[in-house]
Amino acid sequence: MKPADSIRGLYAITPECSDTGRLCALTEAALHGGAAVVQYRNKLLPRARQAEQAIALLRLCRGFSRPLIINDDVELALQIGADGVHIGKDDARLSEARGLLGQHSIIGVSCYNQLDLARSACAQGADYVAFGSMFPSATKPDACAAPLDLLTRAHGELDCPIVAIGGITTANAPAVIRAGADAVAVISALFDAPSVEQRALEYVRLFA
């Protein structure tokens, strides 16, 4: 699978959950619903617990032939053999991640609301770029706002997939997709749903 081939549709970002069993159950439901990518994100647990959860999620994602991306931790991605990593805007970190993880790893870069950062990331070999916050987000209430027309401009100019993140619900996702997003990254609106599998399916259908 080429890295870019997997970055389309629902990009599920895991909630910060200390119960590994529950985290895997939630993620499995999202995968059953059609999530194309899973990103493991947990800033709170000790390192050993992060590794434990990431390994469990990697095993789960392997069963669905879906990539597991690690949030902002190249060393953890390397340690467990994850499919890739998502990092911040620093180009030096991108080249370092590529050097450590290799050419076949998926490396995504947060570009916030700045097209210039995305241009630079793509030129440096990023497999996808992410813009946001598209809408107000409870996960990152202080995140900078990214306008919809940024997605349109990026879609017309960049060769790598475009991920939109931040406050994306099934109600506003169609506007994001029409604007040019190849994938929508979701945390709360997916994993807080009464049925995670059904909510994932609702997102996936928007790309049909």
| Domains of the chain and CATH, by start | 3-205 (3.20.20.70)
Question: For the stretch 61-76, what's the b/e string if a residue is b when 16 or more beta carbons lie within 10 angstroms of its beta carbon?
Answer: beebebbbbbbebbeb
pLDDT at res. 24: 98
Q: Is 43 a catalytic residue?
A: no
Q: What digits encode the pLDDT tens for the residues 89-145?
A: 776 689 999 999 999 999 999 999 999 999 999 999 999 999 999 998 777 777 789
User: Which position among 93, 140, 153, 188 bears the catalytic label?
Assistant: 140
User: Which position among 41, 66, 98, 199 bears the catalytic label?
Assistant: 41
Q: Is 140 a catalytic residue?
A: yes
User: Which position among 6, 105, 110, 137 bears the catalytic label?
Assistant: 110
- Residue 22's pLDDT band, with cuts at 50, 70 and 90, is very high
Q: Is 137 a catalytic residue?
A: no
Q: Give yes or no for a contact between 38 and 53, defined as CB atoms under 8 angstroms apart.
A: no
Mean pLDDT score across all residues of the chain: 95
Question: d(Cα 37, Cα 33) in Å, to the nearest integer?
Answer: 12
